[in-house]
Amino acid sequence: MTPSEVIQFANDNDCQFIDFKFLDFVGIWQHFTTPIREFSEETFEEGIGFDGSSIRGWQPIHNSDMLIMPDPGTAKIDPFVEMTTLSLICNIIDPITREGYTRDPRFIAQKAEAYLKSTGIADTAYFGPEPECFVFDDVRYASTTNESFYSVDSVEGIWNTGREEFPNLGYKPRHKEGYFPCAPTDSMVNLRNEMMAVLQQNGLHIECGHHEVATGGQVEIDMRFDSLLQMGDNLQWFKYIIKNVAFRNGKTATFMPKPIFNDNGSGMHCHQSLWKDGKNLFAGDGYGGLSKMAMYYIGGIMKHAKALCAFTNPTTNSYKRLVPGYEAPVNLAYSNRNRSASLRIPVTNNEKAKRVEYRTPDASANGYLAFAAQLMAGLDGIENKIDPGQPLDKDIYGLSPEELEDIPTVASSLEDALVNLENDHDFLLKGDVFTEDVVEMWISYKREAEVDPVRMRPCPEEFALYFDC
C-alpha cells in the first residue's frame, strides 16, 4: 500500500488508533500508539521521534533522539486490541542524517537483500523457518540474592499423571512421544486451530500445525516460505499472534529453546534457497538434486556455523538444546533426508522446492539478523567456492566416538559463539550489511547482559551436586 492507501484503509476500517511497532536490537517487538487524528501522510515522510537510549543495545543518553519511519506496506489491523487499531512496522532513522540506523535489525535485513542483488548471484533469497514453542498452563520463576528457581506446568505434562485434577483424565503424552498423537492425548487441537486461523486472518500463509515431540505442550506451526525481509516481518507477527492467542485462552507460550529438562527442545529449522529471474538456482543435477551453487552455499554455512550461532542461537538457553549425543543438530554435515545432520536436503521432485534446510537455529533468534547472517555466510561460500565435502548419509547419533572425531560441530555455548563471531565476521561486513559497530555491540551486550549473569549465578542443580562437598 502507498501512504494514501493506508490512510484510506484506516478510514474504511474505522480505526481509532495507530500502533507503531519496531524491533529492538535483541529481537523483541516494541510499540507505541497514537490516536488516529495524529496520523497523516506526513507521518510517512517526517517520522515520529522517540528516545533511543531506552531501547536495549541502542543509543547513549547524550545522543538518544531517533525517528521511527512507518513502512506503508506493512499495514494490518491488530487482531488483539479492543478498539480497532491499525498496526505499522517501522524502520529506524537517524534524525540528523536521515539514513537508516545501523543497529536496526530490519535495516540490516534490507541491506542483506540489497547486497544479494548487487552481487548479481541472485535477486531473491527465500526463507522458510519452522518455529517451535511450548504452551504452558503456568510458569513461575525467581532469581534473587539467596534464591533461584523456575517451575513450568502443563495439563498434558507426563509428570502430572498422578496429580489430583478432579478428575485426572490421563492422556498425557510420554517424553518424546508427542509427535503426532490424536486427541485426547493431543490436548491443543482447538488452540492450534485458533492460532492458525488468526495467523491466516493476518495475511500469513500457514501450511500446517501439529503437536511436536516433547510432552508438556510443544507446538509447531509452519509458514510458507517468503523473501528474507518479508519473512522477518512474518516471524514477528507469528510470535506476537501465538503468544496473544495463548494468553487470551489462559495459557502462556514461550519460544525459549529448552524450558523442559530431559525432553526435546524447540528449534527453528530454516529452509532457504536463492532465485534469479523466477528460477530456483539451488535446483540441479548434483547430490540430492542440488546445484553446485547450493553446495557452495552449504559450504559457507558450515565454514561460518560457529560464528553464525551468535545470531541463530543467541541465548545461553540455546545450548541446553544443542548438546552432543542427543537429538540436536550439532554436527556440521549435510545429507539427503537425514534429519540427524545439521544441514538437510529435503526430498522433492519439484525443482521449485529444491532447498537447503539448516536445522541448528532456534526461535529465540532475532529473525532479521539470523536470516541475514545465514544469507551472508551462504554467499561467502558461493563467492569463494567453499566445498562442503562429502555428504554423511549415516545416522550421526549412532556413530562411534572415533567416527565423530572428524565431524565439526556448532558452538558449544553462547560464549563460544561470541568468541567465534569476534574472530570470524568479515563475511558479515560485505556490502555494509552488518557493521563493526553492530558486531561489537552484539558481543558486548550478550556478554554483559546474558553470559555473565548466568555464569556468575549458582543454579539449583549445583546445590544437588555440591552442597555436601
**Residues assigned a catalytic role:** 51, 130, 132, 212, 220, 269, 339, 357, 359
Query: Judging by beta carbons within 10 Å of its beta carbon (0-12, 13-18, 19+), is residue 9 exposed, middle or buried?
Result: middle
Cell of 268: 527453528
Helix (H) or strand (E) holding 136: strand 124-136
Strands (E), 58-122: 65-70, 76-77, 85-93
Cell of 439: 558486531
Neighbours of 221 (CB within 10 A): 22
Which positions ≥6 away from 171 have C-beta within 8 Å? Answer: 156, 184, 185, 187
Residue indicated by cell numbers 533468534: 365
For residues 310, 311, 315, 320, the Cα torsion angle rounded to the nearest 10 degrees is -70
CA distances from 345 to 17, 322, 353, 359 (A): 46, 20, 10, 11
Question: Reduced to 3 states, what is the DSSP secondary structure of residue 160?
Answer: helix
| CA-atom Rg of the chain in angstroms | 23
Cell of 167: 478428575
CA distances from 301 to 182, 195, 334, 351, 431 (A): 37, 33, 11, 22, 18
Which runs of consecutive H residues, i.e. helices, occur in 25-104?
41-46
> Would you list the DSSP string of 152-209?
EE-TT-GGGTTS--SS-----PPTT--SSPPTTTSTTHHHHHHHHHHHHHTT--EEEE
Question: Reduced to 3 states, what is the DSSP secondary structure of residue 314?
Answer: coil
Helix (H) or strand (E) holding 193: helix 189-201
Residue indicated by cell numbers 541463530: 312
Helices 436-446/305-312 angle, 10° precision: 70
CB 231 within 8 A of CB 105: no
Cell of 460: 539449583
Helices 367-383/228-248 angle, 10° precision: 150
* Pick from 271, 256, 232, 450: nearest CA to 363: 256
Cell of 302: 558450515
